[in-house]
Chain A
Amino acid sequence: MEHILTPKVEEVKLLDRYTAKKPAIGTLYLTATHLIFVETSCNTRKETWMLHHLIATVEKLPLTAMGFPLHISCKNFHVAHFVISSETDCQNVHQSLVRLSQPGKVEELYAFLYNPKQDEDERRNGWGFIDSAMDFKRMGLPNEVWEMTDLNKNYELCSTYHSQLGIPKTASKGTVFGSAKFRSRGRIPTLSYYHKESNAAICRCSQPLSGLSARCVEDEEMLQAISRANPKSTFMYVVDTRPKLNAMANRAAGKGYENEDNYSNIRFQFVGIENIHVMRNSLQKLLEVCAMKSPTMSDYLTGLENSGWLRHIKAVMDAGVFLAKAVAEDKVSVLVHCSDGWDRTAQVCSLASILLDPFYRTIKGLMVLIEKEWIAMGHKFTQRCGHVDGDPKEVSPVFTQFIECLWNLMEQYPCGFEYNEKYLLEIHNHVYSCQFGNFIGNCQREREEMRLYERTFSVWPFLWENRHQYRNPLHKCSLGREVLRPSTLPLNFKFWCGMYNHFDKGMQPKQSILDLLLTITQKKAESEKKMTDLQRQLAVMDGVLADQGSPTGTSPEQTSLSPVSVSHTAENAKPLMNGAAVEEAEIELVSTAGSEKMEPVAIEN
């Protein structure tokens, strides 16, 4: 609290980002964790909350006729433009926010304060809710060629990897440790996804320390072992996700890429995704386009084009498609790396997994995937998201791009995903908000050292509890093991209003199909419940059931009283039972859709 100089400012104006309509007037509060704006100018109480840690920039703008403007932009793309009448107040709020938005150390993050009123057991169970190791079991590991090893249990092999790693059985301990010495930061080739149907695998690692001519027998053995684990193919792809120029520049620094001559039976390939700095600048340009008040078509389209953002999204998607095709169609294993193997590699591997495996297109599956490919494999969340005051050059929207790729896929496959856009936005929000411990820390070891599992809560059980909000009503399980082959024509990559204009109500489409469908599923669920109730009543009348509260036992007669079997999804097609029905039913929360949103809006000129 010592950073809050003025906890409350009255008569603050909140300007609309795009239109010149009358600003909202209200009171601004600064709490230990949030900035809260309570609108007093309208009849209904409207509140705007901003978590301090979500604030990316706070800027004082030049004095205007209205007062002293304060421009705040958040990492979840919430932008607020306040005008404060007193200079001192503006100065104080600015100073406080600058400090509060950039905690000096991790312990100041919201997750360490947040208490959802759970006891220790619940906290522990919560952290156990998603277990990425289980996912390897689901893929069929260990099997005759792949095994899970705990060679990294003390993080001695690789400090930024998880303790459990999937490696080929034929790779000896010597091979593994030898290979680690030849890979940047010891990030050895390890299993990311095993495709049961083809026996082909996606593995990931960091760049080799090949420099201009260096070789490493163990590393060559390691790749050979991975390649041989898929006996049906005579070769394996090694995909370097960087542009060739960047990879070559790394050679001068003693790093680089695999020489096809030194490794037997590899086919080497660059896919040309730009580095974190290019991505950071690209997003900045995209946000500038997004901030334009009423762009002409020229401004808007050339702005989009010049930002390069959608081109980068396409590049990531193209790479994911390449991997999925190699594994599923050509039945060839792939080893993927970039420089350190924690940014582009994470993007590409997780995207390929989604294309290959419908499990990752489910609500729980996406949690597992993020836990496995991002958290366990050491994507540096603390640095990339800028959770604490640090090197701004380490900040980059790598995870945002992954989520955006996923959204683009969902646009092409409206029935292919169990989750909806809200789920993606919620996850993205939590990655930056630090309300939960999951996305704090740069790697597993750091998280253990911070004792995050004892001091913070996991986001996954929380999301799971609210899963009804995140369900895609169009989802169809019957798609089975189908591999997705999205079109990557440039026109398929669109500006994501739902993400970048999420908080600008005037910019939202007036009617959302998703909200409509969620309403429909809610009504469906209500009807189901009603039906169960009525069936129960009939049963009571018939004297089959005792005239009392909820049913306890099930008798044969009772079962026959549930005539219509309603299958939400192919897998849980069970007859509708009195109690069970309510539990299984998709009761959806519905935001105010329909008539309210259809009200006229001011014309944007």
Chain B
Amino acid sequence: RSDRSTHAAKPPFAMSSDNVAISAEFSPELRVLRDSNKEEPQLLPKESVQDMAKDVTYICPYIGALRGTLTVTNYRLFFKCMDRVSFVLDLPLGVVSRVEKIGGASSRGEVSYGLVCKDIRNLRFAHKQMEDSLIKSIFEILMKFAFPVSNGLTIFAFEYGQVYPENGWKVYDAQAEYKRQGLPNESWRITKVNDHYELCDTYPSTLVVPVNIPDEELKRVAAFRAKGRIPVLSWIHPESQATVIRCSQPMVGVNGKRSKDDEKYLQTIMDANAQSHKLFIFDARPSVNAAANKMKGGGYESEDAYQNAELVFLDIHNIHVMRESLRKLKEVVYPNIEESHWFSNLESTHWLEHIKLILAGALRIADKVESGKTSVVVHCSDGWDRTAQLTSLAMLMLDGHYRTIRGFQVLLEKEWLSFGHRFQLRIGHGDKNHTDADRSPVFLQFIDCVWQMIRQFPAAFEFNEYFLITILDHLYSCLFGTFMCNSEQQRVKEELPKKTVSLWAYINSQLEEFTNPLYVNYSNHVLFPVVSMRHLELWVGYYIRWNPRMRPQEPVHQRYKELLAKRAELQKRVEELQREVTNRSAASSSERAGSPTRSITPVQTFV
């Protein structure tokens, strides 16, 4: 009895009273605000101050002009306003896409600079013109360090030497991942043909291909596929053996060239799945674009040449259309949002339409594999942009493992990084050439699609929104090596795992922050999101996060955690009492035959 009284003295449950929590966490600006009173930033290992300027004005589109001190390091831009409001701007230089001097010196002798950022904001500064023209303006220093690649400097990721408990580069091991999928098996083998990236220099070294096709034939198939990106297995259904295959377009050309090897190869892929006598080929492009590619030697599979195959076009536009769409979106949401015509302004960007098409395409793929038990081949032109979006989203729908934090990391490492999504070109790390036609928000669209799925299945993903935002922030930050280079071959050559830290090392060192408290392991469920316009929304938590009027008003994640913790605490108490009752009744069972304790069943662990 006295034991129990001690329990009684305990408070019901001690929860953190830190209510600032989540809302502030989502905003990098605020986060810094809490732990810095100095003019200078807290420097990272190997980070060094390059220049500092007092009396710089930051023209904030929401608060107005703020005067403060600007610091430029080899990693970041740091602005701190010391007067009336405490305000901090802390921005990795990798986020900067372009720096431009706006106009000449003003009447007050001030020069103004505009920074266009990759994360949907533009910053504007002004400061006094240097009297001595030999002294470089801080913005010239900034330009140097914001674009290290163009200036013959090293990207900061190669200098950053932070040590984390886990080596993030070990998160993905292709062999282990295929083993998890049950590969190799009687129909599929792992080939070494691309060990030295000789078959295809943009593919990973580990490839899964049909057992019956020897390496020699693979080389002939490679000759018929753009950039040698042959059809290989991405995912296999654990029960039906239906597979998701990815590749690039066939080199059909204007004359309708055919390849017996390629045709036989796809037939073999179809035969590897006994459940279906059909094969679906999903060409991500609009049919017009696919046809236009014939002029450049590319094209698509004709149904005459590929018997039993059905070709479907998914109408997803190319990287240039997507880049333009994001540009328009930025215009609509940053810095201010017009009070009227919100929906037509949003409509004019077509952003959500693109998101819808991508999700709808992935859904059709997943549905064919799951419900139709049919293998699918997915390609676009080169098979590294739209194809990566489609296969990874379909796999996210089909396989619960990818919906865990580590599984998602594996999915990115596999479908995006190892299969050669050209991150360096699409993002332009450290490159001042902001007008490069290779830039495109392909990966951002994928993450947006994942967010749309999280909204529809709030308990099916182990990670939260903050996880996705963190990935996007470090896509640009150049702090980690994860998104450097264009292919696995380049990463090996640059010795990225040796010379840089992986983003996953950082993330896995503080999983708590990225965990969805409502997560329930629905690993055996296939998620089919609704892709109707009614259920797609603009991701305001990302695109409009700089607008102070959009800050989340209540720390709802904190409440989820509280609720779950309370329930867990209760369960624990119940179990304790249960044990006590059982022990006690066992001890006194002879005396108390009528004791009711026997009828009590143990409490299940819920959720």
Residues on A lying within 8 angstroms of B by beta carbon are 18, 294-298, 300-302, 304-305, 310-311, 412-416, 473-474, 476, 486-487, 489-491, 494-495, 497, 501, 506-507, 509-511, 513, 516-517, 519-521, 523-524, 527-528, 530-531, 533-535, 537-538, 540-542, 547, 560-567, 594-595, 598, 600-601, 603-604
Q: Is the CB of B528 within 8 A of A603?
A: yes
Q: Which of B342, B363, B571 lies at the interface centre, i.e. has the most chain A CB atoms within 10 A of its CB?
A: B342
Given contacts A564-B12, A601-B528, contact A491 B458 (CB under 8 A): no
Q: Is the CB of B580 within 8 A of A538?
A: yes
Contact of B559 among A415, A510, A535 (CB under 8 A): A415
* Cβ-based interface call for B533 (8 A): yes
Contact of B528 among A18, A537, A600 (CB under 8 A): A600
Q: Is the CB of A304 within 8 A of B343?
A: yes
For B534, what are the chain A residues with a Cβ–Cβ distance below 8 Å?
Answer: 300, 495, 497, 501, 507
For A415, what are the chain B residues with a Cβ–Cβ distance below 8 Å?
Answer: 554, 556, 559
**In whole angstroms, what is the CA distance A465 to B588 when docked?**
43
For B563, what are the chain A residues with a Cβ–Cβ distance below 8 Å?
Answer: 473-474, 517, 520-521, 524
Within residues 470 to 524 of chain B, which ones have a CB less than 8 A from any CB in chain A? 518, 520, 522
**In whole angstroms, what is the CA distance A542 to B585 when docked?**
11
What residue of chain B has the Cβ atom nearest to residue A501's Cβ?
A: B534
**In whole angstroms, what is the CA distance A487 to B564 when docked?**
29
**In whole angstroms, what is the CA distance A282 to B577 when docked?**
60
B115 → chain A, closest Cβ, in Å?
A: 25
What residue of chain A has the Cβ atom nearest to residue B570's Cβ?
A: A527
Q: Is the CB of B518 within 8 A of A516?
A: yes
For A520, what are the chain B residues with a Cβ–Cβ distance below 8 Å?
Answer: 563-564, 567, 606-607
Q: Is the CB of B603 within 8 A of A491?
A: no
Within residues 329 to 365 of chain B, which ones have a CB less than 8 A from any CB in chain A? 337-344, 346-347, 350, 352-353, 356, 360, 363-364
Contact of A530 among B338, B560, B603 (CB under 8 A): B603
Identify the 7 closest CB pairs spanning chains A and B, nearest first. Answer: A563-B8, A490-B342, A305-B343, A301-B347, A297-B353, A534-B577, A300-B533
Could you list 22 A-B pairs, sorted by A, with CB under 8 Å?
A300-B533, A302-B343, A490-B340, A491-B538, A491-B540, A506-B530, A510-B530, A511-B458, A520-B607, A527-B574, A528-B570, A531-B574, A534-B578, A538-B4, A560-B8, A562-B8, A595-B525, A598-B460, A600-B370, A603-B360, A603-B363, A603-B531
* Cβ-based interface call for B1 (8 A): yes
**In whole angstroms, what is the CA distance A415 to B455 when docked?**
18
For A563, what are the chain B residues with a Cβ–Cβ distance below 8 Å?
Answer: 4-5, 7-8, 10
B268 → chain A, closest Cβ, in Å?
A: 28
Number of interface residues of B (CB under 8 A): 83
**In whole angstroms, what is the CA distance A415 to B339 when docked?**
27
Q: Is the CB of A296 within 8 A of B353?
A: yes
Interface string of B539-571 (1 = CB under 8 A from A): 010001001011001101001100110110011
For B10, what are the chain A residues with a Cβ–Cβ distance below 8 Å?
Answer: 563-564
For A413, what are the chain B residues with a Cβ–Cβ distance below 8 Å?
Answer: 553-554
B356 → chain A, closest Cβ, in Å?
A: 6
Contact of B567 among A294, A495, A524, A541 (CB under 8 A): A524
**In whole angstroms, what is the CA distance A296 to B531 when docked?**
11
Q: Is the CB of A537 within 8 A of B597?
A: yes
Given contacts A474-B563, A489-B337, A563-B8, contact A547 B549 (CB under 8 A): no
For B152, what are the chain A residues with a Cβ–Cβ distance below 8 Å?
Answer: none
What residue of chain B has the Cβ atom nearest to residue A299's Cβ?
A: B533
* Cβ-based interface call for B459 (8 A): yes
**In whole angstroms, what is the CA distance A594 to B7 when docked?**
35
Q: Which of A18, A506, A510 lies at the interface centre, i.e. has the most chain B CB atoms within 10 A of its CB?
A: A510
B245 → chain A, closest Cβ, in Å?
A: 21
For A537, what are the chain B residues with a Cβ–Cβ distance below 8 Å?
Answer: 581, 595-597
Given contacts A301-B343, A538-B581, A560-B8, contact A507 B532 (CB under 8 A): yes
A511 → chain B, closest Cβ, in Å?
A: 5
Q: Is the CB of B570 within 8 A of A566?
A: yes
Q: What would 6 more interface pairs be, CB under 8 Å, given A490-B338, A547-B594? A: A302-B343, A305-B344, A491-B540, A523-B607, A534-B577, A534-B578
Given contacts A511-B459, A541-B595, contact A412 B581 (CB under 8 A): no
* Cβ-based interface call for B537 (8 A): yes
For B596, what are the chain A residues with a Cβ–Cβ distance below 8 Å?
Answer: 537
For B530, what are the chain A residues with a Cβ–Cβ distance below 8 Å?
Answer: 506-507, 509-510, 601, 604
Q: Which of A297, A304, A414, A520 lies at the interface centre, i.e. has the most chain B CB atoms within 10 A of its CB?
A: A297
Contact of A595 among B350, B356, B522, B571 (CB under 8 A): B522
* Cβ-based interface call for B194 (8 A): no
B135 → chain A, closest Cβ, in Å?
A: 44
**In whole angstroms, what is the CA distance A408 to B245 when docked?**
44
